Amino acid sequence: MGVEHDEFEHALAAMKKAKKVELDTGLSADDLKNLVDEYKKIVKKHAKKDFPQDPVDQMWGATNAVFGSWMNDRAIKYRQINEIKNVKGTAVNIQSMVFGNFGDDSGTGVCFSRDPSTGINKFYGEYLMNAQGEDVVAGIRTPEKIATLEKKNKKVYDQLVAIKDRLENHFKDMQDLEFTVQQGELFILQTRSGKRAGAAAVKCAVDMVAEKLITKEEAILRVSPDHLDQLLHPMIDPKAFKTAKALTKGLNASPGAACGRIVFTAKDAEEWNAKGEKVVLVRKDTSPEDIGGMVVSEGILTSTGGMTSHAAVVARGMGTPCVAGAKGVSVQGKKVVIGGTSFKEGDWITIDGSTGNVYGEKLSLIVPSISKDMSLFLSWCDEVRDASVRGDITGFKVRTNADQPEDVKRAFDFGADGVGLCRTEHMFFEKEKLIHFRAMILADNIDERKAALKKILPLQKKDFFGIFKAMNGRPVTIRLLDPPLHEFVPHTKAEIAEVAAHLNVSVKDLQPKIDRLHESNPMLGHRGCRLAVTYPEIYDMQVEAIALAAVDCLKKKIPVHPEIMIPIVCDERELAMIRPNAETIIKNVMTKAKVEIPVRIGTMIEVPRAALLADKIAEYADFFSFGTNDLTQMTFAFSRDDVASFMPSYLEKNILEVDPFKSIDEEGVGMLIDIAVKKGRGMKGDFKVGICGEHGGDPQTIDFCYRAGLSYVSCSPFRVPLARLAGAQAVIRNASAKK
């Protein structure tokens, strides 16, 4: 009837205060009768009509309220967050009621056939005697552990255990059950596959294969890529424990550690987040209205509620660390006392959702390594991808986009099959390298440029060596320079003065050179291979550094597999010019070192013209890699850097279903990819084709890439495990779709 829930809560709280009782069950029948009268008055006041007294009217009212809830703010927000689209509405299920609040031989609870946080195969759950379901999930009374029910009512407990076993065997998945005991009789209200934390998803999948409940393929489909993402959530750096002491401990409701500034409302969480701040949402409890703030929070801390409270269930589902029901936490307005210490909005705290500990300071976090279960699970994913066959293409690999040896090492540890994109301009973000890079792009003539390049060559060679070493013989695709120049020219007074001093010129003399580099559309400007068309010596230096680094590896008996990639190609004649130059340099280095290391030279396909003319381009390329960031930018004519001002409207108004920079636009950009794959392979049968735009780590795009016949996807190191799984899921899903 559109009356705010809070109105009733206030009336109830006032009644309990007047009667000096803590729990609803402390109220007498007369109190409840009076409360009902109060409720009726509230309805009359706000809804401007009487509460219906005919049960059939009540039922229709309730039914329509459920239908209507589809369009309330929190449901809309939930669908947005979970990208649920094109679903017409909700269903309504009407069933007769049983009462868990019929006295002390009645009760209600929520249970899971396995632990939803860890996946351990142990009956798990909580219940409250003399209570209704809302009391358990709302977290107002702290429920008891399911194991204690065995002592209270062995018959009901045994029955419940038998039913959960039967349901799990039937559905072959971990079940989330709701039950009510009415005067000693057990009723199951509902069962569904339980939402679970990432660790639990992997553990359940691995255990259920061992128990022969499901096949490896079914296990692979059970774990979502988001689950794996969660597993690589940070944890508190063990070194921090030397000095850090927990202020209090709550329930370890959703694993992982989170560190951020305290906020007390969902709205504040969203506002602070919009300002770029990391926040931890601290509340007495949470409700569905808080969903927007929960999503943007690093972690959630509540002072009440159990493992099945709203905060715990939602946080687990989202993979957000959560400590719930922390009794040592007391929230009052925009202040909180944690274990005796006071904090205000904006203060830093760290919570550990794996242990339940709460720390009153900013602690450093580290990313965990892959567990034994996860490693086994991912090895099944690799088997599936490696065995996949599409026409002449066997296997579907996962590479990484990484530019620094330590990132490459991390990706290697996460199971990357190689480097799909090493952006060489990113290697210049470090201060000591940046100065030489700036000197190079500001050079007036070839001699000045060559002088700067000479300084850069050993630095590049060292980085390349580190990357080859970290990949230990797996293919490494190094992309030659593609710097959007505006990212590298000095901007501030201090930067300009520093570069002037380095070049031994005055700021006044330097300024016109900087001005000359200004471009109206830098993303469509003097970048990628266009730089090599004007200044061939830049790519020459890079190719030499790659070849020298490879030779060094060989000398140190480190296996090496270099690949060189040319960016922003739009015409085969660009490659026809650049490729022979590169080949000559490689040959010279190898001849001098008396070794031979094959170096393949390929190109990125990121300009629509290149995709359309891919057959001509393939003549000069040993492989293609789709740079879908630029390909999307240039196909839509949406500037990558400027979409934020209009993309939200496009999504809201359903002109686009998803942001095409996140998930590939199969219809348009996908068509160009299809054309390029066919034309490229038409020229050269066993041509390797991959993707290295940001889309390479997006599960939906990975499915498309598999269907489009790509040989590999490449994504950031942290997304490698997720891509190993998403790739295997694509293989399985598409095989069963064919059947």
Enumerate the active-site residues. Answer: 310, 692
Interface with ligand PEP (CB under 6 A), residue from 80, 629, 639, 700: 629
Q: Look at residue 321 and give the partner it binds from Mg ion, ligand PEP, none, a contact being a CB closer than 5 to 8 Å depending on partner kind.
A: none
CB of 405 or CB of 420, closer to ligand PEP: 420
173 binds, among Mg ion, ligand PEP, none (CB under 5 to 8 A by kind): none
Distance CA 553, CA 476 (A): 13
Interface size with Mg ion, residues (CB under 5 A): 3
Q: Using alpha carbons only, how large is the chain's radius of gyration in Å?
A: 31
Q: Which of the choices ligand PEP, Mg ion, none does residue 692 contact, using the CB cut-off of 5 to 8 A by kind?
A: ligand PEP
Query: Does 325 sit near Mg ion (CB under 5 A)?
Result: no
Is the Cβ–Cβ distance between 419 and 476 less than 8 Å? yes
Number of H helices, E strands in the chain: 29, 28
- Residue 306 touches which of ligand PEP, Mg ion, none (CB < 5 to 8 A by kind)? none
Cα–Cα distance, 112 to 359 (Å, whole number): 30
SS3 178: strand
Retrieve residue 17's tokens: 């205060």
Q: What is the dihedral of CA 542, 544, 547, 550, to 10 degrees?
A: -70
Distances (CA, A) of 247 to 259, 333, 361: 15, 20, 10
Q: Which residues contact 235 (CB under 8 A, 6 or more apart)?
A: 256, 257, 352, 354, 365, 366, 367, 368
DSSP H helices in 20-129: 29-47, 55-69, 73-81
CA distance 634 to 527: 14
| Chosen from Mg ion, ligand PEP, none, partner binding at 273 (C-beta under 5 to 8 Å by type) | none
Q: Does 684 bind ligand PEP (CB under 6 A)?
A: no
Closest to ligand PEP by CB, 305 or 693: 693
Nearer to Mg ion, 569 or 618 (CB): 569
**Nearer to ligand PEP by C-beta: 282 or 578?**
578
> Taking CB under 6 A as the rule, which mask of x and - marks residues 567-606 in contact with ligand PEP?
---------------------------------------x
Note the Cα 667 to chain centre separation in Å. 24
Q: Is 423 in the site for ligand PEP (CB under 6 A)?
A: yes
Determine the interface stretch with ligand PEP among 61-69, 111-119, 623-631, 719-727 (rule: CB under 6 A): 623-631
Do β-strands 348-352 and 357-359 pair in parallel, antiparallel, or remain unpaired? antiparallel
Round to whole Å and give the CA distance between 173 and 7: 40
Query: Using H for helix, E for strand and C for coil, what is the string for 565-600?
Result: EECCCCCHHHHHHHHHHHHHHHHHHHHHHCCCCCCE
278 interacts with, out of Mg ion, ligand PEP, none, CB within 5 to 8 A per kind = none
DSSP, collapsed to helix, strand or coil, labels residue 389 as: strand
> Based on CB atoms, which residue is closest to ligand PEP, 131 or 691?
691
Nearest distance in Å: CB 628, ligand PEP: 5
Identify which range of 94-102, 181-189, 209-217, 627-635 contacts ligand PEP by CB under 6 A. Answer: 627-635
**Count of residues in contact with ligand PEP, rule CB under 6 A:** 10
209 sits in which H/E element: helix 198-210
Interactions with Mg ion, residue window 584-623 (CB under 5 A):
606
**Of 191, 273, 424, 628, which one interacts with ligand PEP (CB under 6 A)?**
628
Q: Which residues pair with 684 in a beta bridge?
A: none
Q: Which of 630, 665, 698, 703 binds ligand PEP (CB under 6 A)?
A: 630
The answer to whether 627 contacts Mg ion (rule: CB under 5 A) is: yes
| Shortest distance (Å) from residue 696 CB to ligand PEP | 8
Question: What per-residue string of b and e applies to 321-356 under the rule 16 or more CB within 10 Å gives b?
Answer: bbbbbbebbebeeeebbbbeeebebebbbbbbbbbb
Q: Which of 293, 299, 627, 717 is in the footprint of ligand PEP by CB under 6 A?
A: 627
Q: What angle do CA 239, 244, 249 make, to 5 degrees?
A: 120
Nearest approach, Cβ of residue 569 and Mg ion (Å): 11
> Residue 175 touches which of Mg ion, ligand PEP, none (CB < 5 to 8 A by kind)?
none
Question: For residue 99, which phi and psi values (nearest 5 degrees)?
Answer: -120, 120
Contact flag: residue 733 with ligand PEP (CB under 6 A): no
Q: Which is nearer to Mg ion, 176 or 425 (CB)?
A: 425
Q: Which of 452, 500, 543, 692 is in the footprint of ligand PEP by CB under 6 A?
A: 692
Site residues for ligand PEP, 133-172, by CB under 6 A, read: none
Instruction: Give the x/- contact pattern for ligand PEP in 450-489, rule: CB under 6 A.
Output: --------------------------------x-------
Q: In terms of CB distance, is 360 or 522 closer to ligand PEP? A: 522
Among the listed residues 382, 630, 665, 703, the single contact to Mg ion using CB under 5 A: 630
**CB burial of residue 495 (10 Å; 0-12, 13-18, 19+):** middle
Q: What does the binding site for Mg ion look like in residue numbers (CB under 5 A)? A: 606, 627, 630
Residues that bind ligand PEP (CB under 6 A): 421, 423, 482, 606, 627-630, 692-693
